[in-house]
Structure 1
Amino acid sequence: MWLDHLFPALPLERKSEPEARSAPHPRVRISPGERLLRAITALAGPHAELMEHHEAPWASVTFAGTRHTIVLRYEGWEACDAAEELMAELPEHEFTIPRTLVADAAVVRLDQVLLPEPCMTLELALLLLDDA
């Protein structure tokens, strides 16, 4: 570089050198909302297609947290069977999200079409409370 001739004693960091590129990346912290979404998609099974996910802050006098709305779509007979299993399992499911309590989990809307192919759309409402 042209600065090497002006200041030969100063070591300069060059981003293109291998040492600079091999520096460890900062650790990315996964939010409780992302952990919830991963848990729901695992519980919903491989036939579920995530259509929407909305997160909004929520608070009461004694608690704070977030309210989540998740919309899943199932297409086909096997997928609709999986949707029915999710509807039965969700209210009693024990989520394991660090420092977070799932206070409420419910199916709040179900849209179903039988012809030409069965299709179900589920809207889930979940309330997460900070456990700090």
Structure 2
Amino acid sequence: MSDEASAPRAPRTRRSATERLRQALSGLGEHHGQVLTHSENAWASITFAGTRHRVSILFAGDQAVAAGEQFVARLPEHEFAIPGQLVADASVVEVEHRLVPSPRLVVQCELLLLEDG
């Protein structure tokens, strides 16, 4: 029996819904975006509970800006797969596009996640 076989395994950490959302947004932006800010607030109605997220993402450089433009186009209709959560609304609320001194795109988006289950 080797030492590796008897070594205790590190506990698996569970990712939060917020971490999974950020990972999903990164994938939607083809991993070219950098999260500048992310705020999260509890949200509830009579029948649902969840969180409202406001995320600001920077896409810097020609290739990143192109990915950011695709992100803006795809976000509202994207089908998210976040365990235990339903993305009830995803919208782009502001886009800032600059070419000088170098191409950059900053996207502000808001998402409403509802607890599923």
TM-score class normalised by the smaller sequence: 0.7 to 0.9
Higher relative contact order (CA 8 A, sep 6+): 2
- Which residue pairs with 1:102 in the alignment? 87
- Which residue pairs with 1:75 in the alignment? 60
Q: What TM-score, normalized to structure 2? A: 0.87
- Which residue pairs with 2:72 in the alignment? 87
Q: CA deviation at 1:49?
A: 1.5
Unaligned runs of 5+ in 1: 1-17
- Which residue pairs with 2:111 in the alignment? 126
Q: Tell me if 1:54 matches 2:39.
A: yes
- Which residue pairs with 2:24 in the alignment? 39
What residue identity is the alignment partner of 2:84?
Answer: R
Larger Rg: 1
CA distance in 2, matches of 1:127, 1:72: 17
Unaligned runs of 5+ in 2: none
Count of residues paired in the alignment: 113
What percentage of aligned pairs have identical amino acids?
45
CA distance in 1, matches of 2:27, 2:40: 19
